[in-house]
Chains A and B, each alone.
Chain A
Amino acid sequence: MKTLMIIINWINAAVLAGTPLLLATNGEILTEKSGNLNLGVEGQMYMGAVTGLAAAWLTERWFGVGGIIPLIAAVVFAFLMGCISGLIYSVLTVTLRANQNVTGLTLAIFGTGFGQFFGEVLSNEAGGYVTVGAETKHVFGNINFGSLTEIPVIGTLFFRYNWLVYFAIIVAVILGWFLNKTRKGLSLRAVGESPATADSAGINVTRYKYIATTIGGGLCGLAGMYMSMVNQKGIWVTNCVSGYGWLAIALVIFSTWSPLRAIYSSIIFGGLSVMYMRVPIPGMPMAIYMMFPYIATILVLILTSIRQIKEHAQPASTGLNYYREER
């Protein structure tokens, strides 16, 4: 019974820890489906984290309201900031044809600096450290499902989460439907697989790359906001993203570019990343625990390359910029 409780609580914690990963992973999947390999997720998440917190905090301060309005401000501005970062990446790689790896790494470094710098500015402004009010914290907390929460096992497994958990899953389902079932989704996948083919079929490659990368960035921004508003409960912590952006990039591979598989993959990753708290093994150093998600990624890479399913591979043109008259 006790082990069952440990496992159930672990799953609950895994879902909570997996949610920002799921959002960022979906963002990166969308981006990579357009053939852009954006390594800047970590930076984009920092930008979203600080912007979301600042928006909530400033809304509280300027308008004197707490709760739902600061929440909306945090979501909207974090998303927009993520979009801007995606847009910057697109301008550099699609229009100016800069190298994707270099641009992505630069974005990661830039975004991290951006977040930490404005986080400090915000802290100074607030006179020491920023924190949002109790009401705002509350709307980012678990949803009140009433007696549903109390059902044994089921309550903990399904009804003890904040709204972003459900939102992230819905986003994943919609993205999966969009990519696999719709005409535009087909076009987007064609752009990522073979831009020359898409182009000669009359698809506007540039537009698809821009839109996918920008919205993908927006999702990463939301993932960052989750780190500052939910994980840190509305308080600025300098290292709040702590490598989750890199984990998300690994998770894209782990879920073999499928938004739906990303749902359970992110829960597994979330579980691995909180394992040290839930299933402590005496004498095992923390650093070993931190390696687990990456070891899992390597295993999946090995397995998928053994099985050789073409549909489960990275979009063929990822990392390459497209120019029609080049050959």
Chain B
Amino acid sequence: MLDTKPITVDNVVEMHHICKSFGTVQALSDVHFELRRGEILSLLGENGSGKTTLMNILSGIYFPDAGEIYVNGNLVTIRQPKDAFDLKIGMVHQHFKLVDVFSAAENIVLGLPGGRTINRRALTRHVREIADQYGFEIDPDKKVYDMSVSEKQTVEIIKALYRGADILVLDEPTAVLTPQETDKLFDIMRAMKKDNKSIILITHKLNEVLAVSDRVTVLRKGEYIDTVLTKDATIQSLTDMMVGRSVSLEIDCPVPQNVEPILKVQSLTVLNQDGGKALDDVTFGVNGGEILGIAGISGSGQRELCEAIAGLYPVTGGSILYKNVVDGHEVDENVVGLNPNDIVKKGIALAFVPEDRLGMGLVPSLNMVDNIMLKHYRKKKGFLVDRRTSREIAERLVDELQIVTPDVFTPIRKLSGGNVQKVLVGREIDTHPRLLMVAYPVRGLDINSSYTIYNLLNEQKEKGVAVIFIGEDLDVLMEISDRLLVLSGGRVTGIVDPRCTSKQDIGLLMLGQSIDNEKGADAV
């Protein structure tokens, strides 16, 4: 087999003819992969296209059914994670692999050889050295359960570097980072590249691909498509390669019709665990037939806001008035203090994708049908559950959202991260709510699926549903929302029309500053 010989020694990794299947799912077939020394390579592909699987093979989590792997020109067999880091390959997983009750330092030395007991002082020093070299900020003694996602990620990266990794795989590192944190990460990646390390970056955010990588490798449905130089690529060309046909990247924002108020939030105040104000005197209205975007630096009260409306978070002050029809009369009902179940019955639905993306209102070991039934069984009376309707819904969602799954009876934990999310959002929309709240629905979703979700939301809006959209990507928020509410530190700093406000101004509002035409003088 001549073609399997490594072509140049400059390739630190070469993978040839890699195949891997899980039961009936062919996750990878005949995949080819090359990584050069000192480059940042983006690995692109839709949800479930096999990116994580390919990298798990490289890092020893999965063993391929067929294919060869060359590292630094030598044919190698990677049977377990240890073999991988003996070859100086380190991976930061999509779902972090850290022990919660250990400190950063303990996680970093975990499993490494050395003296019988651990010299904590030397360890802390060494961790600090690595941190200083690349510009990380880390407290070696902090417990993982006290850390934010970005801190956890820092620990993961240092863990790999501490093991002497020269090849670093980052599986969707930016899916849960704020833009500022992402920039910091990219600076670190560039510093590592200068140090002649090779980095594989998996991400669904194409502007990031263009910003930091040197080359891009594209997978589609478990097959290798092509590798291109980043400088020759555009968002459009990459999307087309990923999807396999030309797709439009316009988010349309139809003009709202029949706008009528549905929800009025007045002076809403809630406390966080430490007794501080997570939401402070928040007032706004939501209209049917319109999408209200909510922007803000993560942790500015978005989560508390939608949970308070859904009845999942205790309210300290203020009211949430919901326009409902009781006995033929229109009334403003205060939903504060009602139990979540009653709120759902009134037609308020919440699809929340938390930062860790796991544990988001789905039961991982149940299949799609049963997960959908969790929401639907209440609609039917009677003693026995009705699986047929749920099954029909499941099959329809698979179709409409192009969910990659062998069938609707596969436990959803086996689906790829993005596909799990489609199930969640799809299920909420399918309850036909009058008010639909979606928080971070496209976290970790590939670009095509993101657009599918945007279209779904627009469809809901046209049906007269009031949509609250909490997002991270300001560009998307500005394109899709009819009105944009900006939160900063739990306060509303502005409700603007995104079509006639600049991105800079919204950025200022997110930082808690007022913009001139808003409140003028009281800028902080």
Contact = CB atoms under 8 A, between A and B. Distances in A.
Interface of A: 181-184, 186-187, 189-190, 193-194, 196-203, 310-311, 313, 316, 324-325, 327
15 contacts: A181-B117, A183-B115, A187-B110, A190-B111, A193-B99, A193-B102, A197-B107, A199-B80, A199-B81, A200-B93, A201-B81, A201-B159, A202-B82, A313-B101, A324-B62
Contacts of A186: 102, 106, 109-110, 118
Contacts of A184: 116
Given A189-B99, A197-B97, A199-B81, 7 more contacts: A183-B109, A186-B106, A189-B101, A189-B102, A190-B102, A200-B59, A310-B143
Given A324-B61, A325-B62, A190 B97 contact: no
A182 B100 CA distance: 19
Contact of B81 (A183, A193, A200, A316): A200
A197 B155 CA distance: 13
A-side interface mostly: helix
B414 interface: yes
A168 B127 CA distance: 38
B193 interface: no
A202 B111 contact: yes
A207 to B, nearest CB: 12
B-side interface mostly: loop
Contacts of A197: 97-99, 107, 110
Top 10 closest A-B pairs, CB basis? A201-B111, A202-B82, A197-B97, A203-B111, A201-B110, A200-B81, A202-B111, A193-B99, A200-B97, A190-B99
B359 interface: no
A327 B91 CA distance: 17
A69 B428 CA distance: 72
A246 B108 CA distance: 37
Contacts of A202: 80-82, 85, 111-112
Contact of A327 (B107, B109, B413): B413
Given A183-B116, A200-B93, A324-B61, A311 B101 contact: yes
Interface in B52-105: 59-63, 80-82, 85, 91, 93, 97-102
Interface in B190-238: none
Contacts of A203: 110-111
Contacts of A181: 117-118
B145 interface: yes
A182 B116 contact: yes
Interface string B400-418: 0000000000000110000
B97 A187 contact: no
A196 B106 contact: no
B414 A327 contact: yes
B81 A190 contact: no
Given A197-B110, A201-B81, A182 B97 contact: no
B143 A194 contact: no
Contacts of B111: 187, 190, 198, 201-203
Contact of B101 (A199, A310, A327): A310
A314 to B, nearest CB: 11
Given A182-B117, A183-B116, A325-B61, A198 B101 contact: no
A189 B101 CA distance: 10
Nearest to B106: A186
A310 B63 CA distance: 35
A202 B110 CA distance: 8
B53 to A, nearest CB: 10
A281 to B, nearest CB: 42
Nearest to A203: B111
Nearest to B82: A202
Nearest to B59: A200
Contacts of A182: 116-118
A197 B108 CA distance: 11
Contacts of A313: 101
A197 B22 CA distance: 22
Given A183-B116, A325-B61, A194 B99 contact: yes
Interface in B135-156: 143, 145
Contacts of B109: 183, 186
Nearest to A202: B82
Q: Which residue, of A187, A194, A313, has the highest number of chain B Cβ atoms within 10 A?
A: A194
A189 B159 CA distance: 18
A182 B143 CA distance: 18
Q: Which residue, of A190, A197, A203, A316, has the highest number of chain B Cβ atoms within 10 A?
A: A197
B328 interface: no
B114 interface: yes
Nearest to A311: B101
Contacts of B145: 310
B425 to A, nearest CB: 21
Nearest to B60: A200
Contacts of A183: 109, 112, 114-118
